[in-house]
Structure 1
């Protein structure tokens, strides 16, 4: 008698059964670890105050003061500078809310967010571009802070000048000691994760606001209770308005990095309201205070001796009391570290973690990115106009198109619908697999719009449009992407709460 040919289901091997039990959501270890995972709603700690203190530190950075004071040299008066900063602040408030809402909803960092538009593998492109810009500026900002520390050391211990006259790889012995000390402090803070960064920013914010306000008031008193509202013949008419709009646009461009990866911070936000409130007090209101301080400091100094300061550090150096000078200098160091942590350290950490999720976590990636920031000898980069202009400036110009593509894909194409578990799956049927893990339409849109952005940034023929390069690049990236992207698809909104981890850092 013949046995019927009956097909029976294939029994899963013991290893497959164990794998399903340990990984029931079919997540890939090449895309998922505890640092890249979405954060659970419960346990998030970033309140409105946390978001506000980010801006309390970053807005008052020394670089921002140098930029705003530079507007005087372009022929703008006090009220015109306030108007330019106000215009930029309104735009920034809107852009940062759109970017921040993405992180608050999904709970994922920027490299994972980039997978939505660029694919699970293509996301390495925006993540590494953002990370490369940040790690270079981390080293440069640490070096600039070390210069302030050298001045402080020499003020307290003039004998240290003996170790400040030699040169090894571009720095004196004292320069190396100060640089490595500040570098190590930042690595220690980062080693405790995002929660420690939040606490440091919360501490530094009030210190900076008080210090800058006190410096402005001191200058106002030194000038006899009045200031000069302009430092020369102020612009009028169409030329004035073009300069005001251009100044506001450049103010937004300064934050091109932050509007891109703001989700790295808002993924820990308690609610959308906390993002909006933190941004409102930290951007429009705080920037108004920033503008008033700039006008008071610059106008007071110009009234006193007819010179224009280049930075608050010029004011600090003129303080006659050594104790007060050291206190103010310490506050500037606190500020520089706060700005560096948020703007230039977090992004490369997540970029490296995204590149090697099996081997790196937040702490290890922090040590590696910090080490890179040391090994590149950043003072040499800072002293090389070609590197600053063409390498870092070129990478910065590409951030506009990246922002436009990611925002257009998330808000216009998908209407904020995200299948969060699929961001961590390598299945060819996954939402973000596209073609071998890359959305080549997004890559093409980036390549075309990036070329246009670079031409605008570096071609003398378009110098009159250079102030608006970020907006043009961002808009061009969005338009090209929407023109060539696949339309008519249905998108599902799937929560990531089941695969989320508690935001321990």
Structure 2
């Protein structure tokens, strides 16, 4: 078996003659330049964004106390970091992207379906939704900068969106596209600048929340006005929070090799990702609870949309700065979780015709064609979309991890993976049937939760799908022997 740095010292033409473009070739040791600091800053924006702050309000409505929500968020961060580090190990060891990690798991033909689901369906659709959500915050800023901006077109709509809305969407789309087209190096520079701004803004907002709420003790003792009792006992409510956050991270958790392939070493990505994810969530846990509850106390009503709290401030400059940083975190999330994985997957599906930059163009344009503003009209459809993606990608991550660690024993034959050959002259596996059976069973059980009688399964779908698929693959492999 070829270990890290071996079997990849070939020139570009060698790979291109066999149908590969440079974007999915294994990275040599010299090409891997992402440091622990790069990984530390990589996911910060994916933590501090508008939907995540809104989700905290939902966690409080479960009946958990403010302190319990904070604790559950911090514990969740260790689970998320573990997922990213473990599933990113193949990428950092062999320099391979997610597309080739999938091929090792499912076979070169079998990898196409999960690749399409992650990169094309989840990546493109969620890129459009995140871009539209961010454009709504941009629209608020533009109305403050240019009074009367929202009146342009007198309410005329084009394909279901107003003229000011489409202007804000396209403007924000261009910014997201520019970061995506720049790739990993541009993203590293962007997140390095964004990271200290996040600490300043959300740290400052947390201080404001404590003062506005009358002190930390008052915030921690705050009781929500909710109808009915808690849905689950405390321990199950904690697990529900874990499942929800792992569901949000299901897509980047599956395709993390697209980033770890650039790590200087496996140790680098472990230190960077664990420290970055945990520190980011510690700040997020404290700031989200203090800002949302402090703002609710100050304004006299329960408010879980952080933008609504910001826009009630008196100082216009603090509104601009805070909203601006939230827009930047949305861009960071879009790049790491959506547009980069989508571009790599399109490149892997059509390696002779689509490289990474063309993939960004195609994915970005496709995100407009999906008309995300139509999906945002109905919140139920958004949550259904996210639940489906989590239910699908949880089992995929479980199968990938079991295949690499327990079946392949952390070894990948690069020659066989890329060049249809192996030392024993056996026919190459085109579709890993065991992996497909395990994935289909895991997905099927997770999706049973959409049946009203079994709704509880949906609340824990990521865990159920991940462990069901992973354990089943392990058993199938044992019986196969």
TM-score if structure 2 supplies the norm length?
Answer: 0.90
Q: Distance in 1 between matches of 2:371 and 2:231?
A: 46
Unmatched runs of 5 consecutive residues or more in structure 1: 1-20, 490-505
**What is the CA-CA distance between 1:329 and the residue it aligns to?**
1.5
Q: Distance in 2 between matches of 1:175 and 1:193?
A: 28
The 1:34–1:462 alpha-carbon spacing in structure 2 relative to 1, beyond 3 Å, is: same
Residues 56-106 of structure 1 show CA distances to partners (whole Å, capped at 9, x for unaligned) of: 211112111111222112211111112211221222222221112221001
Whether the 8 Å contact between 1:27 and 1:421 is mirrored in structure 2 is no
**What is the CA-CA distance between 1:25 and the residue it aligns to?**
6.5
The 1:393–1:430 alpha-carbon spacing in structure 2 relative to 1, beyond 3 Å, is: farther
Higher alpha-carbon deviation: 137-146 or 328-337:
328-337
Q: 1:113 aligns with which of 101, 109, 123?
A: 101
The aligned counterpart of 1:12 is none
Q: Distance in 2 between matches of 1:102 and 1:462?
A: 36
Matched, 1:453 2:453: no
Q: Distance in 2 between matches of 1:334 and 1:200?
A: 9
Alignment: residue pair count: 466
Matched, 1:228 2:222: no
Whether the 8 Å contact between 1:422 and 1:431 is mirrored in structure 2 is no
Matched, 1:444 2:434: no
The 1:192–1:432 alpha-carbon spacing in structure 2 relative to 1, beyond 3 Å, is: farther
Q: 1:85 aligns with which of 73, 83, 92?
A: 73
The 1:77–1:194 alpha-carbon spacing in structure 2 relative to 1, beyond 3 Å, is: same
**What is the CA-CA distance between 1:286 and the residue it aligns to?**
2.1
The 1:43–1:23 alpha-carbon spacing in structure 2 relative to 1, beyond 3 Å, is: closer
Whether the 8 Å contact between 2:142 and 2:149 is mirrored in structure 1 is yes
The 1:237–1:70 alpha-carbon spacing in structure 2 relative to 1, beyond 3 Å, is: closer
The aligned counterpart of 1:493 is none
Residues 354-394 of structure 1 show CA distances to partners (whole Å, capped at 9, x for unaligned) of: 11100111111100000000111111122245643545532
Whether the 8 Å contact between 2:248 and 2:386 is mirrored in structure 1 is no
The aligned counterpart of 1:180 is 170
Whether the 8 Å contact between 1:119 and 1:433 is mirrored in structure 2 is no
Alignment of 1:194-233 (within 5 A): 194-226=184-216, 227-229=218-220, 230-232=222-224
**What is the CA-CA distance between 1:37 and the residue it aligns to?**
0.4
Q: 2:30 aligns with which of 27, 36, 42?
A: 42
**What is the CA-CA distance between 1:28 and the residue it aligns to?**
6.3
Structure number with bigger Rg: 1
SS in 1 for 2:29: coil
Q: RMSD of the TM alignment (CA)?
A: 2.6
The 1:411–1:262 alpha-carbon spacing in structure 2 relative to 1, beyond 3 Å, is: same
Matched, 1:97 2:85: yes
Whether the 8 Å contact between 1:349 and 1:369 is mirrored in structure 2 is yes
Q: 1:411 aligns with which of 405, 408, 415?
A: 405
Matched, 1:51 2:43: no
**What is the CA-CA distance between 1:312 and the residue it aligns to?**
2.0
Whether the 8 Å contact between 2:388 and 2:447 is mirrored in structure 1 is yes
The 1:237–1:351 alpha-carbon spacing in structure 2 relative to 1, beyond 3 Å, is: closer
The aligned counterpart of 2:7 is none
The 1:430–1:325 alpha-carbon spacing in structure 2 relative to 1, beyond 3 Å, is: farther
Matched, 1:363 2:352: no
Higher alpha-carbon deviation: 356-365 or 43-52:
43-52
Unmatched runs of 5 consecutive residues or more in structure 2: 1-9
Q: 1:396 aligns with which of 390, 394, 401?
A: 390
Q: Distance in 2 between matches of 1:361 and 1:37?
A: 11
The 1:22–1:407 alpha-carbon spacing in structure 2 relative to 1, beyond 3 Å, is: closer
TM-score if structure 1 supplies the norm length?
Answer: 0.86
SS in 1 for 2:136: helix
Regions of 4+ moved over 4 Å:
21-28, 233-238, 389-392, 427-435, 486-489
Alignment of 1:323-472 (within 5 A): 323-385=317-379, 387-426=381-420, 434-435=428-429, 437-456=430-449, 458-472=450-464
Whether the 8 Å contact between 1:115 and 1:121 is mirrored in structure 2 is yes
Q: Distance in 1 between matches of 2:424 and 2:62?
A: 53
Whether the 8 Å contact between 2:252 and 2:337 is mirrored in structure 1 is yes
**What is the CA-CA distance between 1:136 and the residue it aligns to?**
0.3
**What is the CA-CA distance between 1:231 and the residue it aligns to?**
2.6
